[in-house]
């Protein structure tokens, strides 16, 4: 009996959903393993989980696409069939726990099958078809409430810390509870307690990253809510301790910065976690939150929906990004949209002896690596369609000249075959000349600290010029140009040997052999510190960065399997530093 059009579309829809379900099962397995890695203090294992998980999605899409090509080679090329496949797929999502993620997976598969002209959006989920506001979990509810007796939150705090059943006990849980309660009183002051509605709502799963587990939730007092994040770490005695308690939205939002590594969180219904976090942190978008939960493909999908809507309601045109033009990337932006678009050029400038695949590999390295708050996350897109009438001639001519293989054009659109999209930052080389003395000083100090943080995370930036670093609205220096980055462990840090005779130093010629990954930190000052004011500040705080000993010590530390501690909150928020009580001491934010 011949297979009907309807049965074919339903079978393909089932196959795609099966592929997604397999993906999310594997995704959750990484998050479940994070708890064990935390208990065992296996910090390299935590990093490996984050890195391995990045490829999980693309692997499952590839697997699903291959299966469909093998079993339905002709049918999947029939565009009219995909409208039925999408309808059947929507029907399968009734009572599904991750419908928004499944829709995104469908988009990834279908756009691999079809001629991606981008205008036939009826075949993909440009807008979500299934609401995610009231999905119930079959396992545990999204958050667990804790109700106090006699308006005393101390027992609630203790029960929160014990909720996760970590195999490693708290060294001094009474002290931890006292510290948290002291912070609550200091941050929020005396409350007019609501005797009928005072309680704590805590997300059921801990958030794991680096060497820390975070407990997130909010304190409800009547009609008011107060977000909190409690950082739990291992102490020197082999037990657990609370390192910090953050009780304001801005401090907690820093944990979800685009320059941080993704969290490992065990979730059956991720939309419930995102909605809860959005209530806690209204300054963070759904894009940010899905990304930081490790669901970057969903963040990417929401980004694209927002971008299309912004194009619909805006009128400005794409222009070249201000600043010094790069040798590897052409960079453009829409002034009213807070992102930049980066396209790898066909031919690179001098001294760039690598190809497009090499550059893409560097960006993938950053995606998988711990960004320690110093490297901007990127969204990678293929076949980005932009209305032709929204592009300036300058921007089009740049792409035609330097990246013609990445550009398709028709009467209505230009289509960029591959690009990276990043949060827009103010380049440090543009910021410094316009900043006042205090702002300039702070930026130079944080620039040096950024280099130190990257080194501790096994990243050598390669090109350390100010144009490759940006500054956020909070004054934090972020690295965003990745084509020359290397692992610290791949570099050879050397001191420049003495010249055989004094005249050689004045000749401009190198009198010593230089291998590919040799680095001479003494040379950094020559091209970084030409401004006397900048040099004075840099040398006062970071002179060691100009010595090979600093870099070699960091390299040796990494090769010994030791990982430095990175705290995405200020020292003033920590209860102890090097064993000294700190919870009542004021300090400046990092």
Residues annotated as catalytic are 377
Alpha helices by DSSP H, 40-94: 43-54, 56-71, 79-92
Contact 12, 76 (CB under 8 A): yes
H or E element in which residue 455 lies: helix 437-456
Q: Please tell me the total number of residues recorded for the chain in this structure.
A: 590
* Cα 381 from Cα 376, distance rounded (Å): 16
* Cα 227 from Cα 521, distance rounded (Å): 44
> Closest Cα partner for 46 from 214, 203, 244?
214
Contacts of 226 (CB under 8 A, 6+ apart): 188, 218, 219, 247
Give the side-chain half-sphere CA count within 13 A for 304.
23
Strand spans (E) along 250-395: 319-320, 329-333, 339-344, 378-387
* Cα 310 from Cα 373, distance rounded (Å): 28
Alpha helices by DSSP H, 114-221: 154-162, 173-188
Measured in degrees and rounded to the nearest 5, phi and psi for residue 408 equal -120, 145
Contact 266, 95 (CB under 8 A): no
- The first and second tokens of residue 100, run together, are 């928004």
Q: How far is CA 215 from CA 209, 239, 279, 282, in A?
A: 12, 17, 16, 18
* Cα 557 from Cα 75, distance rounded (Å): 56
* Cα 400 from Cα 472, distance rounded (Å): 31
* Cα 524 from Cα 547, distance rounded (Å): 9
Contacts of 437 (CB under 8 A, 6+ apart): 533
* Cα 250 from Cα 473, distance rounded (Å): 13
Strand spans (E) along 50-153: 143-146
Q: Which residues pair with 7 in a beta bridge?
A: none
3-state secondary structure of 244: strand
Sign for the CA dihedral angle at 564, 569, 572, 575 comes to negative
* Cα 196 from Cα 89, distance rounded (Å): 45
> Closest Cα partner for 475 from 452, 451, 454, 444?
444
Contact 216, 277 (CB under 8 A): yes
Contacts of 343 (CB under 8 A, 6+ apart): 329, 330, 331, 332, 399, 403, 406, 416, 418, 419
């Amino acid at each position: 009996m011949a297979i009907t059009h309807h049965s074919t579309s339903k079978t393909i829809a089932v196959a795609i959903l099966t592929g997604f379900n397999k993906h999310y099962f594997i995704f959750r397995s990484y998050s479940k393993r994070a708890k064990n890695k935390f208990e065992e203090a296996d910090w390299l294992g935590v990093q490996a989980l984050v890195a391995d998980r990045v490829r999980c999605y693309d692997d499952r899409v590839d697997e699903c696409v291959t299966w469909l090509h093998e079993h339905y080679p002709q049918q999947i090329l029939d565009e009219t069939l995909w409208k039925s496949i999408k309808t059947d797929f929507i029907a399968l999502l009734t009572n599904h726990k991750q419908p928004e993620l499944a829709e995104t997976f469908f988009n990834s598969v279908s756009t691999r099958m079809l001629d991606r002209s981008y205008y036939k959006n009826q075949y993909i989920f440009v807008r979500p078809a299934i609401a995610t506001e009231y999905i119930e979990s079959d396992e545990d509810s999204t958050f667990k409430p804790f109700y106090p007796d006699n308006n005393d939150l101390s027992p609630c705090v203790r029960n929160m810390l014990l909720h996760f059943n970590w195999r490693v006990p708290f060294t001094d849980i009474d002290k931890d509870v006292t510290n948290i309660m002291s912070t609550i009183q200091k941050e929020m002051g005396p409350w007019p307690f609501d005797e009928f509605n005072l309680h704590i709502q805590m997300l059921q799963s801990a958030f794991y990253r680096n060497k820390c587990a975070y407990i997130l939730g909010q304190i409800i007092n009547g009609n008011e809510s107060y977000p909190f994040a409690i950082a739990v770490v291992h102490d020197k005695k082999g037990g657990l301790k609370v390192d910090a308690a953050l009780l304001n939205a801005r401090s907690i939002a820093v944990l979800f910065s685009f320059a941080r590594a993704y969290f490992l969180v065990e979730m059956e219904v991720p939309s419930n976690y995102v909605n809860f976090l959005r209530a806690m942190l209204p300054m963070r978008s759904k894009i940010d939150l899905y990304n930081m939960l490790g669901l970057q493909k969903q963040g990417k999908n929401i980004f694209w929906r927002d971008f299309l809507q912004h194009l619909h309601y805006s009128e400005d045109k794409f222009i070249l990004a201000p600043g010094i033009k790069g040798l590897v990337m052409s960079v453009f932006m829409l002034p009213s949209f807070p992102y930049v678009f980066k396209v790898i050029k066909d031919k690179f400038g001098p001294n760039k002896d690598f190809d497009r695949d090499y550059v893409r590999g560097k960006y993938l390295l950053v995606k998988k690596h711990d960004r320690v708050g110093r490297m901007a996350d990127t969204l990678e897109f293929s076949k980005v369609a932009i209305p032709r009438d929204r592009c300036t001639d300058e921007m089009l001519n740049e792409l035609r000249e330097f990246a013609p293989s990445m550009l398709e054009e028709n009467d209505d659109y230009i289509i960029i075959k591959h690009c990276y999209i990043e949060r827009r930052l103010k380049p440090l080389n543009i910021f410094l000349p316009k900043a006042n003395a205090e702002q300039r000083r702070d930026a130079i100090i944080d620039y040096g600290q950024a280099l130190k943080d990257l080194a501790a995370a096994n990243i050598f930036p390669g090109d350390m010029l100010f144009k490759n670093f940006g500054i956020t609205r909070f004054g934090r220096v972020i690295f965003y140009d990745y084509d020359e980055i290397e692992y610290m462990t791949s570099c050879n840090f050397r001191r420049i040997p003495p010249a055989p005779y004094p005249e050689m130093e004045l000749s401009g010629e190198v009198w010593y052999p230089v291998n590919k990954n040799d680095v001479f930190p003494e040379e950094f000052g020559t091209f970084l510190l030409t401004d006397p004011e900048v040099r004075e500040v840099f040398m006062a705080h970071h002179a060691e960065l100009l010595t090979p000993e600093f870099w070699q010590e960091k390299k040796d530390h990494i090769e010994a399997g030791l990982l430095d501690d990175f705290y995405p909150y200020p020292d003033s928020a920590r209860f102890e530093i090097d064993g000294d009580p700190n919870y009542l001491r004021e300090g400046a934010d990092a």
